[in-house]
Amino acid sequence: MKIRINVEGRSVEGTLADDAPARDFASLLPLELTLTDYGATEKISDLPRKLSTQGAPAGVDPGSGDIAYYAPWGNLAIFIKDFGYSRGLVKLGRIESGLEMLQRPGALRVKVELVK
């Protein structure tokens, strides 16, 4: 599944995995979110509800550009830098182009939608 994240009129393109957690995330789209900085490593935002983690591993080792769900907090995380293994982190997909739009400091108001 292809997604687009609109950031101030510019597009960030990504692909979601073909698994239960990513399909559950896709069912929420379109979403308007405020992404905030977390640890100078990721942009995070709360989601309207918890996602399914059915079939997901116990954790992942995210890299720059990974789109993930942190199950213990119920939030979306887009990694703008590499990070180490995190228990409870579920990879949903990957940013394919435009990551630099998300690497700017500060909060960003975005719209995430499926690309038909």
- List per-residue pLDDT tens for the chain, 116 residues long: 999 999 989 999 999 999 999 999 999 999 999 999 999 999 999 999 999 999 999 999 999 999 999 999 999 999 999 999 999 999 999 999 999 999 999 999 999 999 98
Q: What is the CA radius of gyration of the chain?
A: 13
CATH of the domain at 69: 2.40.100.20
Question: Two tokens at 115?
Answer: 């690309």
Domain tally, the chain: 1
Q: In the chain, what is the straight-line distance between the N-terminal and C-terminal CA atoms, in Å?
A: 9
Picking from 66, 71, 68, 67, the residue whose alpha carbon sits closest to that of residue 53 is 71
DSSP, res 64: T
Structural domain harbouring 96:
2-114
